[in-house]
Amino acid sequence: MEKRPSGIKPESWLVSAGRASEPGAPLNVPPIPASNFIIGREREYSRDDGTPTWEALEEVVGGLESGKAVAFASGMAAIAAVFDQLAAGAVVVLPDDCYQGVVGLAAAGAERQRWSVQRVAVDDTAGWIRACGVADLIWLESPSNPLLTVADLEAVCAAPRKPGAIVAVDNTFATPLNQQPLDFGATVSLQSATKFIGGHSDLLAGVATTKDDALWHALRKSRELTGATPGTLEAFLAVRGARTLALRLQRAQQTAMLLAERLEEHPLVTRVRYPGLPSHPTHAMAKRVLKGFGTIISFDLLGGAEIADRVCRNVRLIRHATSLGAVESTMERRAAIPGQGHLPPSLLRLSVGIEDADDLWVDLDSAIRSAAQ
């Protein structure tokens, strides 16, 4: 797996990595739908040894994250592989605001007495530092989903930790272009490539990246034993989508900032959560640890859940759909999802795409005003 040279910027790596270099080779690594290979070299069976298509995705994301990557069938498969490293009786610490898939996985393991689970507020840096001394898995998510709280990753990742403990950072919202958890000292960085890496709502994939060779081998072994392998077409599409990540992120972040500022002035919006706004509780931290503020906005509406649901039904350009990080803007009421009782009932999470900013504002403003009538 080729590493990103120190003189190559991430924007160039996105375009150049994961390609063959020998004369006569295809410019793009093709989808290789093969489960087995002719015996005689290092690659014999794809579940064990991977494929060139998977490896292209691993090279792209691993170089972005400054480590060695392992591709999985989904973001949750990558997450499950990290949890798979825990011994019986382990202590897991999760953020108070966290992706529900992780919360569900941790709860299921706790019910089977595989581990115990503690929760710490995302912005409670002192609490996280204390947890590092007792936890076997520190699970950080920053910015958090969906309240967009930014953690002091630098301090937490550098804190003394229990021997053998894993500090894992879900870096999906920030993307490797805005945040480098491994450089802060995290053990492993996770990407749901379904989101920003793929960028087109047409695949499921996940990637775990680490600088720890032993953990890298262990994650590959977990993928092999559980069969959590990425699909051939999905890996190909993720690589193709990643080529434009820098452009998509730049455009969507600019629009997100504009929409967040306008939403903050809207008479029917009671609160806007976006790390780029000075009013955001962790804005100062975001300026320190993030290179960009991202494309996700969460905001609360006057009138409660019913009004929020109407807004989701009223939008036309923005799609009423889950997930995020794609070229199209999507929005949903997160408290409608089971297990999200800590969220305000009227909170909407908006994933900003690459459409025209003014068109998105007209659609959003019209939907809000019509819902309130």
Active-site residue flag, 99 = yes
User: Which residue range is the domain that position 224 belongs to?
Assistant: 10-242
Residue 1 has pLDDT above 90, yes or no: no
**29 and 170 share one domain:** yes
4 found inside a domain: no
* Residues 320, 350: Cα–Cα separation, whole Å: 9
**116 and 206 share one domain:** yes
**22 and 147 share one domain:** yes
Residue 315 has pLDDT above 90, yes or no: yes
Q: How far is CA 117 from CA 108, 139, 163, 168, in A?
A: 10, 11, 18, 15
Residue type, 274: Y
Nearest Cα residue to 322 out of 356, 303, 290, 349: 349
**184 and 262 share one domain:** no
* Residues 305, 284: Cα–Cα separation, whole Å: 31
Cis peptide before 5 (omega within 30 of 0): no
267, burial (CB in 10 Å: exposed 0-12, middle 13-18, buried 19+): exposed
70 found inside a domain: yes
Residue 33 has pLDDT above 90, yes or no: yes
Residue 167 has pLDDT above 80, yes or no: yes
Percent of the chain with pLDDT over 90: 95
Q: What is the pLDDT of residue 3?
A: 84
Q: What is the pLDDT of residue 83?
A: 98
**209 and 297 share one domain:** no
- DSSP, collapsed to helix, strand or coil, labels residue 216 as helix
| DSSP secondary structure, 131-175, as one string | HHTT-SEEEEESS-TTT-PPP-HHHHHHS---TT-EEEEE-TTTH
Percent of the chain with pLDDT over 70: 100
Which of the residues 4, 161, 195, 251 is marked catalytic? 195
**113 and 205 share one domain:** yes
Close Cβ partners of 1 (under 8 Å, ≥ 6 residues apart): 55, 58, 59, 62, 68, 69
**257 and 229 share one domain:** no
The whole-chain average pLDDT of the chain stands at 97
Domain boundary among 194, 221, 242: 242
Average pLDDT estimate for 156-184: 97
Residue 224 has pLDDT above 90, yes or no: yes
Active-site residue flag, 334 = no
Residue 350: give its domain's CATH number: 3.90.1150.10
Residue 181: give its domain's CATH number: 3.40.640.10
Active-site residue flag, 170 = yes
Please write the tens of the pLDDT for every residue from 95-150. Answer: 999 999 999 999 999 999 999 999 999 999 999 999 999 999 999 999 999 999 99
Q: What is the pLDDT of residue 31?
A: 96
**214 and 227 share one domain:** yes
Average pLDDT estimate for 19-40: 94
Cβ(367)–Cβ(329) below 8 Å = no
Residue 338 has pLDDT above 90, yes or no: no
Residue 365 has pLDDT above 80, yes or no: yes
* Residues 180, 4: Cα–Cα separation, whole Å: 14
Global pTM reads 0.96
* Residues 181, 140: Cα–Cα separation, whole Å: 10
Q: What is the pLDDT of residue 321?
A: 97
21 found inside a domain: yes
Q: What is the pLDDT of residue 373?
A: 84
181: left (phi over 0), alpha (psi -120 to 50) or beta: alpha
1 found inside a domain: no
Report the 10 Å Cβ neighbour count for 84. 15
Please write the tens of the pLDDT for every residue from 241-279. Answer: 999 999 999 999 999 999 999 999 999 999 999 999 999
Q: What are phi and psi of 300, to 5 degrees?
A: -105, 145
**186 and 38 share one domain:** yes
Active-site residue flag, 291 = no
* Residues 278, 90: Cα–Cα separation, whole Å: 39
Domain boundary among 242, 276, 310: 242
Which of the residues 170, 300, 309, 363 is marked catalytic? 170
80 found inside a domain: yes
Residue type, 174: A
Q: At what angle do helices 75-83 and 100-111 cross, to 10 degrees?
A: 40
Which of the residues 19, 43, 47, 262 is marked catalytic? 47
Confidence of residue 188 (pLDDT cuts 50, 70, 90): very high
170 found inside a domain: yes
Q: What is the pLDDT of residue 6?
A: 84
Q: If you search the block for the tokens 């494929």, which residue do you land on?
A: 51
Residue 67 has pLDDT above 90, yes or no: yes
Which of the residues 4, 68, 97, 99 is marked catalytic? 99
Task: Count how many domains the chain has.
Answer: 2
**131 and 165 share one domain:** yes
